[in-house]
Structure 1
Amino acid sequence: MKIAFDGKRFFNNSSGLGNYSRDLVRILATYYPENKFVLFNKNKSEKGTDILKLPNVSFVETSKGNFSRQLLMGKDAQQIDADIFHGLSGELPLKWNDKPIKKVVTIHDLIFLRFPKYYSFLDRKIYFWKFKKAAEQADLIIAISEQTKRDIIQFLKVPESKIKVIYQGCHQAFKEDQTEEFLSSVKEKHNLPVRFILNVGTIEERKNLLSIVKAINGTEIPLVVIGKKTKYFKKVQKYLAKNKLVDQVQFLENVSMEELAAIYKLADIFIYPSIFEGFGIPVIEALFSKTAVITSNLSCLPEAGGENSVYINPHNFEDVKAKILFLWNNKSERNRRAEKGFEFVQKFNDENIASQIMSVYRSLL
């Protein structure tokens, strides 16, 4: 079987959709070496070079021209006799020839429809058109959570029978045992507190960092935050300064994947009070790291967190504070939930996800 992928996110995105694309190609190529996996894009980058070294993974440069991704990539995939084309980020090429090829698209979320205030009018219109068109063209849609599946049915008017839920996993780094020496070196390099709670994710309104900051006000609990800053950061910064919390909250940048995995392990608690997610990979990363999780009781986050994570109302910082203090002051409870969470998260391991994706491909052929 030969599977072609839209490689734009694989090569161009450092996190999110890029991680999903690289992980999916890596695990498929590893567990199903008898198949060929071909990435299409205008150019390669440093991202994913280790995956391109696998003997059954190759790169094809898309035909040149304006809108080549939309107009030529599909035909290029047909030209190499690909059996399946998989759009990894909610899009499919618009043009195809008569050669038979099955089309799969992964839709991660429809946040631009659920929370339109975070997007411009033009972006919303473009995204909706692209996603709607891809959903119509696809022989099968992969939704990364039950929440996303419900949204696809509601907003894109797609029949349920056309959608398969296959959860995401996370980067291999979070599943590896790191040495005490490496953990100590990361702690020293980033000058981390002896104990701390951790938040990972883009610093934007939807991720709701301000609720955590308000929750630790009046405590001495250190917070470490890792994520790209947006204009919302200024709002958080203003609250920190006003409430003399600047020294209690540490923002880290330029953290490698291996260092990030170590920091998850070093944290006492991982907290993720997001208002809405397509899935919530940081929750999975924390569970694989054997770190107790506090997350929102909204959208898909209970799907990612399982029954042994602690759930909060993200709009109520008093609830957030109570749950933080509950775990912070109870080591045995943290350990119990971390162990149970680690058992639960095995459903998101590489082999399970690769098997489900391959079953989808085979069902189409």
Structure 2
Amino acid sequence: MSRIAFDAKRITSNTTGLGNYSRFVVEALTTFHPEHSYFLCSPEEGNPSLYAHLRERKGVKWMFPNGRVGGSLWRNFGIVPELRTEGIDLFHGLSHELPRGIYGKGMATVVTVHDLIFIRYPHYYKPIDRLLYRIKYGCAARHADRVIAISEQTKRDVMTYFHVPADRIDVVYQGCSPAFGQATPEDEARARTEYNLPDRYLLYVGSIETRKNLKLAVEALARCQDRSIRLVAVGKRMPYCTEVEEVARRLGVAERLILLHGVPFALLPGIYRGAEAFLYPSRFEGFGI
């Protein structure tokens, strides 16, 4: 039996891709390998509804700051002594990072790298963010015992930009909840009623930010000869939303664009099931689910 710890910041606070990935990994491991002990380390309790199902899992222990040091300081440095006290065998950074003080402490380390978009397309990120990401992500990738890349593309980027040898990188594709393959007509009807969805619609799901390129889908909608079809976009509202809405007004399709924010996971399978087609107009993805 092993004692395995995870950076659970995304599990407790993130409703989008990184959070979904992190929760999926822990859920799968606790399901298929219940013989191990799992420690989920987060600098804050975040939104408990996101991980309520994990709280019920046998063998899962939660670790939050219990002293004066919290937040990013605890996540990067304060957590390491606690991990050693707990006798952790392996620490897995689920989203690009590892605690800075963990190296050489007798624990095996794994880090998952999802993408290096901030290097490939730097204009989508603030200069300070690019600098911090390059330092933190690069350090984790170069020092971890193993690197998990979520696609062959990401593996190539880790090799190119962080100079990590290929034999230290494993490509492990992301999973997807079985709920999306099991959606019923009742799930679809519930989603339609909850959001007053139209009979026919195209679907986009993802953060509504510049690199996700939702504006392209709106421009395509305006050129679509079938005027009865609409575009439903589900995702976190970012400043880019204003630009998308302005383009929709200018092109005369504002009434055919539906933006939904804060949609609970339970309703997503029904929304997918009712769509005519799913659109993925992103400029770049490490691996788009």
Using the size of structure 1 for normalisation, the TM-score is: 0.73
Structure 1 consecutive aligned stretches of length 4 or more whose deviation exceeds 6 Å = none
Q: Secondary structure at the match of 1:85?
A: strand
**Aligned match of 1:361:** none
Corresponding residue to 2:197 among 175, 192, 195: 192
Q: Deviations over 1:250-294 (max 9, x none)?
A: 11223211211101000010011111011112xxxxxxxxxxxxx
Deviation at 1:69, TM superposition (A): 1.3
Q: Deviations over 1:301-323 (max 9, x none)?
A: xxxxxxxxxxxxxxxxxxxxxxx
Tell me whether 1:153 sits opposite 2:154 in the alignment. Answer: no
Out of 246-255 and 83-92, give the one that drifted further.
246-255
Q: Secondary structure at the match of 1:272?
A: coil
Tell me whether 1:171 sits opposite 2:177 in the alignment. Answer: yes
**Aligned match of 1:230:** 238
**Aligned match of 1:60:** 63
**Aligned match of 1:270:** 278
Q: Deviations over 1:132-163 (max 9, x none)?
A: 11112200000011111011011111111110
Q: Secondary structure at the match of 1:170?
A: coil
Mapping of residues 229-248 of structure 1, within 5 Å: 229-248=237-256
Q: Secondary structure at the match of 1:125?
A: helix
**Conserved 8 A contact 1:63-1:73:** no
Out of 159-168 and 95-104, give the one that drifted further.
95-104
- The AA in structure 1 aligned to 2:195 is H
Out of 108-117 and 9-18, give the one that drifted further.
9-18
**Conserved 8 A contact 1:6-1:40:** yes
Distance 1:187 1:96 in 2: 48
- The AA in structure 2 aligned to 1:197 is L
**Aligned match of 1:28:** 29
Q: Secondary structure at the match of 1:94?
A: coil
- The AA in structure 1 aligned to 2:145 is D
Corresponding residue to 1:49 among 49, 52, 56: 52
**Conserved 8 A contact 2:116-2:154:** yes
- Structure 1 pair 185–132 and aligned structure 2 pair: CA distance change class (3 A): closer
Deviation at 1:72, TM superposition (A): 2.2
Q: Secondary structure at the match of 2:112?
A: strand
Deviation at 1:63, TM superposition (A): 5.4
- Structure 1 pair 182–97 and aligned structure 2 pair: CA distance change class (3 A): closer
**Unaligned 5+ residue runs, structure 1?**
282-365
Q: Secondary structure at the match of 1:33?
A: coil
**Conserved 8 A contact 1:62-1:76:** no
Corresponding residue to 1:182 among 171, 184, 187: 187
Tell me whether 1:18 sits opposite 2:47 in the alignment. Answer: no
- The AA in structure 2 aligned to 1:182 is D
**Conserved 8 A contact 1:89-1:106:** yes
Mapping of residues 256-267 of structure 1, within 5 Å: 256-267=264-275
**Aligned match of 1:291:** none
Distance 1:204 1:42 in 2: 26
Q: Secondary structure at the match of 1:26?
A: helix
Deviation at 1:98, TM superposition (A): 6.2
Aligned-CA RMSD value: 1.7
- The AA in structure 2 aligned to 1:122 is I
Distance 1:143 1:201 in 2: 20
**Conserved 8 A contact 2:43-2:64:** yes
**Conserved 8 A contact 2:95-2:114:** yes
Q: Deviations over 1:190-210 (max 9, x none)?
A: 111111111111122211112
Percent of aligned pairs sharing the same letter: 40
Distance 1:217 1:43 in 2: 44
Q: Deviations over 1:79-131 (max 9, x none)?
A: 21111011111111111486521010111111110111011111111110001
**Conserved 8 A contact 2:235-2:262:** no
Distance 1:184 1:100 in 2: 53
Q: Secondary structure at the match of 2:279?
A: strand
Distance 2:163 2:105 in 1: 28
Distance 1:181 1:82 in 2: 44
Deviation at 1:230, TM superposition (A): 2.0
Q: Secondary structure at the match of 2:28?
A: helix
Using the size of structure 2 for normalisation, the TM-score is: 0.91
Distance 1:254 1:165 in 2: 31
**Unaligned 5+ residue runs, structure 2?**
none
Corresponding residue to 2:149 among 143, 167, 173: 143
**Conserved 8 A contact 2:96-2:113:** yes
- The AA in structure 2 aligned to 1:217 is A
